[in-house]
Amino acid sequence: MTALDDLKALLPPPLGYGRDYDWAGVAQRLGVTALPEDFKELFAAYGDVRFCNAMRLFRPSDNEYVDLAAVTLAAREPLASDEFGEPPGSVPDGVSLNPGTLIQWGASFGGDYCLWDASNPDPAKWTLVFTDIDKLFWGFYNGTVTSFLSDWLHGRFAPIPMWRLDSILPQGTPPFCEIYDPTDPSDTAVFERIDATHTIG
């Protein structure tokens, strides 16, 4: 079973609402050869999706606040600033925190960063990097966005302390996702909420 299969078993996406976007255009704007295949497959299954009222994913869009390239380019200045924040205590071998090669694929609704270290030319080898909005806490995940989401939504992994699932969801509440209406230009209309097939933990 793939990570996407596992995620779909937990949060079955509605048929017909997956989307295919201009990923090549985003990759070109960011100066990389491509974006990870699992990320494209995730959108092909779910479309514009947000998880547990805590995390949203970015994608190609005319809206600069959800457009993956625009969000990434805007994030690089605060990520580069040494005015606040602290460097991580340790960084996995081969991982770069150079803001010029970080790509922001998602965020918490509080502004925490979900990033790829895109310094490797092969997007299948990109490490996930997480930090809170103040850059005080750092986390790393050696795997895909889809496998991270599966681990996170099953309560197996939290990249930084405030992202523990049991601190985000009331006790006994199953994880959920919300699919947003692709015809709504404001990107704010919820089309459908999907609750997990079972409670975690």
Q: With cut-offs at 50, 70 and 90, classify the pLDDT of residue 16.
A: confident
- Domain spans of the chain? 3-81+97-195
**53-67: per-residue pLDDT in tens?**
899 999 999 889 999
Q: With cut-offs at 50, 70 and 90, classify the pLDDT of residue 149.
A: very high
> What is the β-pairing status of strands 127-131 and 113-117?
antiparallel
Q: What is the pLDDT of residue 182?
A: 63
> What is the β-pairing status of strands 127-131 and 138-141?
antiparallel
Alpha helices in 31-180 (DSSP H): 37-46, 68-80, 145-153, 165-168
**154-195: per-residue pLDDT in tens?**
888 888 887 888 888 887 788 999 988 666 655 566 678 889
Contacts of 94 (CB under 8 A, 6+ apart): 120, 127
Q: What is the pLDDT of residue 185?
A: 57
CB 119 within 8 A of CB 65: no
Average pLDDT value for residue range 134-157 = 93
Cα separation, 185 vs 149, whole angstroms? 26
Q: What is the pLDDT of residue 173?
A: 83
Crossing angle of helices 3-10 and 37-46, in 10° steps, is: 20
